Amino acid sequence: MAFTDDYVATILRLQVTLWGARARLREGSDADALHDLRIAVRRLRSLLVPVRKLTEMAPLREAAAEVGRLTTPSRDLEVMAGELNDRGLDEAAAHRLGKLEAEYPRIAASPTLVALFSALDQWPERFRASPLGDDPKALTRTVVKSLDKHLTKLRQAVEDPTFDRHQLRILVKRTRYLTEAFPQLSPLSAKGAKALKAVQAALGSWHDHHQWCLKGESEPDLQPLRPLWEQASTAELAQAEVALGELKAFLPDPAG
């Protein structure tokens, strides 16, 4: 199968996954439905990164980004509720889970999600009509260029001790998902991919605990956990710095 056909087929499979996740969200009883929907949207957005400059892809890119923004607060609430359950604060967890019961069907029926499915229905024809839609070699070159650009940018950020760690977390996440979207073209080795995943995990945990500490300033039922979260945040940032040092060996040298 030509690379272009494989690319189209991958996105169509994600569309099927999204249909299933939306159906599960409507029921409101599946704890993993929102998470699975967001993963599918994340993979979709990663597949679109190399072709983001194509005007034909703009409706789908924008629709996927809107779904990401719509669902982020609810997913954050899910993660928080899980943390509170794990820490034995059952009442605080139940309070947040109660809010989510109304959020799931609202998201499933939202115009934002409807717009994403509409864009998905229209995008294959638009993509096929674009400059890259009927040129597998050009599409391959475009993807490789995007991969190299992201990995080089990440190497430069890793080497800069002043680079904002919140921005670095986002860059690490985007780079990881992009390399996973095109594993057959990514220059990152298996060990490099594992190191990248470890960095994302450490920075993600640090970010979560940091954000929870901030929430604890305005949400009284979180106060008992603030000291633990502050300690965890400090430890995870230190762990992330070690993981970043290990990742550096697998990233391309900007000077090269």
Give 34-55 pLDDT, tens digit per residue: 999 999 999 999 999 999 999 9
Residues 122, 127, 129, 130, Cα dihedral to 10°: 140
Using the Cα atoms of residue 38, residue 39, residue 44 and residue 46 in order, give the sign of their dihedral. positive
Lookup: tokens for 138: 């050009």
Quick one: pLDDT at residue 134? 86
* Of the options 1.20.120, 1.10.10, 1.10.3300, 3.40.50, the CATH number for the domain spanning 1-133: 1.20.120
How many Å apart are CA 245 and CA 199, to the nearest integer? Answer: 9
Q: What is the mean pLDDT of residues 68-97?
A: 94
pLDDT for residue 1 is more than 70: no
pTM over 0.75: yes
Quick one: pLDDT at residue 84? 95
Domain ranges of the chain: 1-133, 135-256
pLDDT for residue 251 is more than 70: yes
Q: What is the mean pLDDT of residues 140-155?
A: 95
| CB contact burial 94-103 (16+ within 10 A = b; e otherwise) | eebbeebeeb
Residues 178, 181, 182, 187, Cα dihedral to 10°: 40
Question: Among 108, 85, 88, which residue's Cα sits nearest to residue 27?
Answer: 108
